[in-house]
Amino acid sequence: MTFPRASGVLLHPTSLPGPHGCGDFGPAAFHFVDWLVAARQSLWQILPLGGIGPGNSPYMSSSAFAGNLLLIDLAELQQRGWLDDADLQPDAAFSDARVDFGAVVPWRMARLQQAAARFAQSASAADQSDFAGFCLHHAGWLEDYALFMTLNALHGGRDWCDWPAPLARREPQALQEAGAAHAERIAFWKFGQWCFYRQWKKLRAHANAHGVKIVGDAPIFIAGQSAEVWARQDLFELDAAGRAQVVAGVPPDFFSATGQRWGNPLYRWSAHAAEGYAWWIERVRRTFELVDIVRIDHFRGFAGYWEIPAGEPDAIRGRWLPGPGAALFDAIENALGELPIIAEDLGQITPDVDALRKQFGLPGMRILQFAFGEDGANDNANAYLPHNYERNTVVYTGTHDNNTTQGWWLDAAPALRQRVLDYLGTGDGHDIHWQLIRAACASVADTAIHPLQDVLGLGAEHRMNLPGQGEGHWEWRFTWNQVRPFHAERLAGFGALYRRG
């Protein structure tokens, strides 16, 4: 699908300002949309909206369908009478600059539990009806999710394959008994999802009404400790006990000399094909209920994926295996029509990956920080240099996995810096972040997206993630004090100059 010429900003909602330890769907999110409009930006790209997993990563959620309960605006629940003013007093451990997940998670979850209890006691008839309708509409995933989360907590977060065998194997009587015994706790998880979806729907409507589209993110793989893997064990490469013998990742690349061992279970693609890729169709359908455009992470895995023996400590020893290829996207397109999908085609991209992307007209990604390696700035084979772009492309200064542009520039060798300056035809690079944003906006690529850290000119200490490191990331936040009028004015000027309004 061809996208209109546009530009936008990459910012995950957890990075927004706010008093309760992490960004959420409260007033700061609506203000950020208004700021995007003032900056003449029509796209807001986010990371996956699912709950966080190991290392607090949004790419290892406990569900492919459920939302992150940390994003719920607690003040809105207080306005409905489900929390008191005293409940909203921030914890002293909270930081405006970082998400302290160790403090934020228990604090927010305790208040959600209190709100759920008060909702159960005193909800209006209208709210009860809306909640019931939500549960019915989402029953296909919500029932398994709520039961999984309940059982996961009861068993101390142990892998589901280590639960009592009747529950791990999903014997109907065991599931029925667990549902009856823990009905109140199951209702809590449903209540949380209702709050998440209800608030996100309002925020997205505000964005759309002001000409801003949401660019979502769908990880290709899902966490092994998730409701969907537990519920559909037949669709994943698991042994009889439910354990993965092989896991997902990528071989050594730009980001890591030992590759990236993600640890997700791999899909049993033959089983997906046998049911007409119904699970994937439903996943894509539900994702587009939340966002306007979807970036599919690790698109190359659909052409061929890296299989790593589960016992390996890193991703060096693995092998390439063929993915589902065009059959999957034919099934999705036949069921849902042509969709606005961005293919994250980074890493070891082979001709079959390019062919698959182009067959379905999906724009690929280009990262400006990758454009100035040892091959030099005039190499016509360098796909990341702007003069080699195709129109059906999404260009970034960097992504959530990159260093900030200022951090990248300070770490760069003198020869690389000179290649950048020669290519851009500019001075000393003191405002390199704006120079790369301008290069992205001026390019022929239909879409240009900039991390907010680059718009603000922030250094390496503000990066969001460092691939290959499991802890200490996904924590970055900004404050409105860091945002000056010229940030929006300059973005708006580029939007007008390069017809990205």
- Residues with a catalytic annotation lie at 297, 344, 401
DSSP class of residue 98 equals: B
Output the furthest CA–CA distance in the chain (Å, rounded): 72
Element housing 79 (H / E):
helix 74-79
CA 134/CA 146 separation, integer angstroms = 13
What's the gap between Cα 129 and its chain centre?
A: 31
Both tokens of residue 277? 């890729």
Q: Nearest Cα to 183, choosing from 158, 130, 147?
A: 147
- Asked if 306 contacts 292 with a C-beta cutoff of 8 angstroms, the reply is no
- Asked if 177 contacts 166 with a C-beta cutoff of 8 angstroms, the reply is no
CA 332/CA 339 separation, integer angstroms = 9
- Asked if 74 contacts 19 with a C-beta cutoff of 8 angstroms, the reply is no
Both tokens of residue 307? 């299989």
CA 249/CA 207 separation, integer angstroms = 35
The region, left, alpha or beta by phi > 0 then psi within -120 to 50, assigned to residue 447 is beta
CA 11/CA 243 separation, integer angstroms = 35
- Asked if 215 contacts 43 with a C-beta cutoff of 8 angstroms, the reply is yes
**How many other C-beta atoms are found inside a 10 Å radius of the C-beta of residue 395?**
28
* Strands of the 213-218 sheet, one edge to the other: 341-343, 293-296, 213-218, 43-45, 6-10, 447-451, 393-396, 364-367
